[in-house]
Amino acid sequence: MNLTSLLPIAMQKETIKSSAQQDESVGAEVSVSADVAESPAGRPDYIKVCDFSFNYVPAVRVLHNITMEIPERQVTAFIGPSGCGKTTLLRNFNRMNDLIDGVSHEGKIYVNDQDIYDRNLEVISLRKRIGMVFQKSNPFPKSIYENVIYSLRVSGQKKKAILDETVERSLKSAALWEETKDRLHDSALGLSGGQMQRLCIARAIANRPEILLMDEPCSALDPIATAKIEELITELKENFTVVIVTHNMQQATRVSDRAAYFYLGKLVEMDDTTKLFSNPEQKETEDYISGRFG
Amino acid sequence: MSKFSQKIGGSKRERSAPGEPMVWFSGMWLAIGILMIVFLLSVIVVNGLGVFWPKAVVQVELTEASEAGWKQSQYFAGELHKTQVRRVGSADGEAIPEIQLFVGNRDVYGFGFKFIDEHDVLQRTFPKGILLVERMEYGDLIAFPVKLQLADGKVIEAGDQGFDEELQRAVQRASDRRHEITHLERGEIGRVNQKMERLKMRLKKTELKGGNVKQVAAETKLEQDELQERYEKMAAEAAGLRARQKEETFHYRLVTGEQGSLELGGVVCFYYPNQLSTWTKLGHFFSSIWGFLSEEPREANTEGGVFPALFGTFVMTLIMCILVVPIGVVAAIYLQEYAKQGLVVRLVRIAVNNLAGVPSIVYGVFGLGFFVYMMGGSIDSLFYPERLPTPTFGTGGLLWASLTMALMTVPVVIVSTEEALASVTRGMREASLAAGASKWQTIQHIVLPGGLPGIITGMILAMARGAGEVAPLMLVGVVKLAPTLPLDTIAPYMHLERKFMHLGFHIYDLGFQSPDSEAAKPMVFATTLLLIALVVVLNAAAIIVREKLRKKYSSGAF
Ligand SMILES: Nc1ncnc2c1ncn2[C@@H]1O[C@H](COP(=O)(O)OP(=O)(O)OP(=O)(O)O)[C@@H](O)[C@H]1O
Ligand SMILES: [Mg+2]
């Protein structure tokens, strides 16, 4: 599927425009070497983070000069000890951090060659292209059905056939269909913790976003559901770009193509997953993944 | 604390002993508070409902020496109201037990209640044949029936077969006619009057605008004449009915010996108080409650029902809710969701909180000055210049009263709505925004439904305050006796400019403004009970709605 074809015409134009003007500006700033930017499959980068720093409160930096590329249609894993800023960076990709008072940032983030902090960019259209699964599951106190189709509802989709189809597809993808197909109109709050998390995943993929951000999606799931979600992630990467935060090293090796290790708000190392886990360049990374750390 | 320590187990329980007196102390005060409320409520319920329970009529015979009798008679008959002890002179003087009788027949005696010293009473009897008649005027009649004079000249003596049935039928006939008269005068004639009034106003309007008065007068002449004719026809019809109300009479004899007669048109109902079984008493009890709720007041509000006041209170509270909820909710949404949380918003919030504590009479004065005189005055001079100097909106009325109450209760709604909105978690909002919803969509789909129970709680508080408030209403449109309801069958049906009656003011008026406070007392209790019941019913309805919504919300059916 051609991703740009999903976008409205106006946005496509803007994409082309911004990619044109970006060529000079980014070329200078990107400091990572060319062979890293070009992933093994030779895919173009989809999210580019350029020298990005972030503060929640003035003078307290939680992200320091992060520069990284996330390739299209691949799974990128963020790993690192608790509090190192993985969630913060992830939430910047769809500008969820805008909602917090007093935050500030430096540097740039490009999604599909578009500066997401550009003043002309409509944050709602950005968020419609990005699905997000939060660290804490947060289903709406509505029915399971309404939860799944929420993003379609707010986009004005009213056709019952499409909505029904979306619910079934999304729930099946999130490995929740069998358990809930007979109670779609019951409250989502009656689900178990793990089911709620899978519902949130179904909700995030309902409108087929280009990017799926997952913040520890399996932390509340049993091995079976985890396996299903991992399977889902592998399926999703056919079409979508996936960024996943995980504390589970095995999971990172199983699902991700590339991995980034963060420590104290800095990107320590980013590489192909197989390389990062078998032969890390930095000592800190090696300590962390071999469990000698934290 | 004690609960906690008890759970932990035996050894810890001893350690919490120093806290124990405080538990008893605080518990005691709570108990006292609850007891006081229960006591208050039971006084109101017992007295309020007792009004409707038919009491036996006792006939007392006074001793020869007694001076308590009426003229030469040594008899009295009435409902026994209370027994008490009177002190002669100072508070520790000689104690004299006495009884209070409701003797009725105010037209004859000039009083309704009579105190009689116990030692003046020779004997008490409960005559079976004594009759209690509720009349349109002068309150109850308590007497022995003598005869019934029917329209066709037939006379039925009290002892005759079928006397009671015939009397019942005659009373029913009179009551039917009375309804017919009301229907004619209020409905038909009212409508004709209104049309005539409109024609008159049209004339006056043309005059004010400097138009051709003669032409308009000529145009409307035909209609005017036709209306006049219709009016006269109906007025004659009503007069005829009124005359027939006087044709049949009921003759009676008081225990004191006086004889008298009563037109059946003036009879509301009658019963033999000493012949009632528990069942008929119950029937009478409920039918008089119904009468109280559905009828209009009579005799300076001390008799009859309170329907206009009940209706006025209900409608005013409803309009107030319709006005206050949207205003309060929108204001709270702005404060909580959109406004940048800073010093200004904090100050606004403090101001709103304090507004809830402003004495209600201040709102009344504001309502009178701003709504009635300024807004109402402007509306009158803009839209109803032909009616001036008679004000239309420039005087107290339902709309201004509702607006004043809405203004008074809006802080309550704002505060509880803000709390309700704030209780919707950040995670919920983030999930919605991350799904591509706009801020308003998030408020609409997630925050408002989540806050709905809290918003309704605010409405309940506003309603409870609004329905129970009297002081400001006296300034902006409540009257002791409103000739018409604010809602009727004459277009435009809802007359927001009309003055109305209110239960709270009714209580005040009955209790403190009525000439015969003893006679008004039962009504005060009954009306108080009704006001409490109304507030409870309104609140219960809102609570039921809230629980429904809560269930719906948590089951996600919307
Ligand atoms: N809303 C906030 N306001 C202020 N500081 C915050 C806020 N959220 C996070 N932080 C701080 O930013 C730092 C990074 O937090 P972040 O949530 O990104 O960590 P994380 O890598 O996701 O950790 P974990 O693995 O435990 O989820 C932490 O030191 C945290 O205390
Ligand atoms: Mg995190």
SS3 of chain A: helix, strand, coil, percent, to 5: 45, 25, 35
What's the 3-state SS for B244-269? HHCCCEEEEECCCCCEEEEEHHHEEE
ipTM over 0.90: no
What are the two backbone dihedrals, phi and then psi, of residue A292, each rounded to the nearest 5 degrees?
A: -85, 5
Distance, CA of B66 to chain centre: 43
Q: How far is residue B10's CA from residue B66's CA, in Å, rounded to a whole number? A: 74
Residues of A in contact with B431 (CB under 8 A): 134, 138-140, 200, 203
Inspect the interface and report whether the beta carbons of B434 and A143 lie closer than 8 Å: no
Q: Is the peptide bond before A139 cis (omega within 30 degrees of 0)?
A: no
- Which residue has its alpha carbon closest to ligand 1 atom 20? A83
Residue A100, judged by CB atoms within 10 A of its CB (0-12, 13-18, 19+), counts as: exposed
Ranges of each domain in chain B: 1-34, 148-281, 311-552
Domain ranges of chain A: 35-139+208-289
Determine contact: B539 vs chain A, CB below 8 A. Answer: no
**What is the dotted CATH code of the domain comprising B311-552?**
1.10.3720.10
What one-character DSSP code corresponds to residue B54? P
What pLDDT sits at residue B404? 92
Question: B378: which 2 tokens?
Answer: 């402007």
CATH number of the domain at A35-139+208-289, please? 3.40.50.300
Query: In chain B, which residues have pLDDT < 50?
Result: 1-10, 12, 555-558
Q: Which residues contact B496 (CB under 8 A, 6 or more apart)?
A: B319, B397, B398, B399, B486
Position B17 scores a pLDDT of 59
Which pLDDT belongs to residue B490? 67
Instruction: Assess contact for B551 and A189: CB atoms under 8 A.
Output: no
Q: Which two tokens stand for residue B22?
A: 């405080």
Tokens matching residue A77: 């894993």
- Give chain B positions within 8 Å (CB) of A94: 434
Ligand 1 atom 12: residue of nearest CA: A62
Task: Identify the residue whose C-alpha is closest to ligand 1 atom 10.
Answer: A56
Identify residues whose C-beta is under 5 A from ligand 2, the ion. Answer: A 87, 135
Mean pLDDT in each 10-residue stretch from start to end of chain A (294 residues)? 42 40 38 38 71 89 90 90 90 88 88 85 88 89 90 88 91 87 87 86 89 88 85 84 90 91 90 88 84 60
Hey, is B361 helix, strand or coil? Answer: helix
Chain B contact probe: residue of A144, A147, A154 with most B CBs at under 10 A: A154
- B531-534 own/partner pairs: CB under 8 Å, 24+ apart: B531/B313, B531/B467, B531/B468, B531/B503, B531/B504, B531/B507, B532/B41, B532/B44, B534/B310, B534/B313, B534/B314, B534/B467, B534/B503
| Cα within 13 Å of Cα(B326), Cβ side | 5
Report the gap between the CA of A185 and the closest CA in chain B (Å): 7
**Using a 6 Å cutoff on CB, does residue A83 contact ligand 1?**
yes
Give the pLDDT score at A245.
93
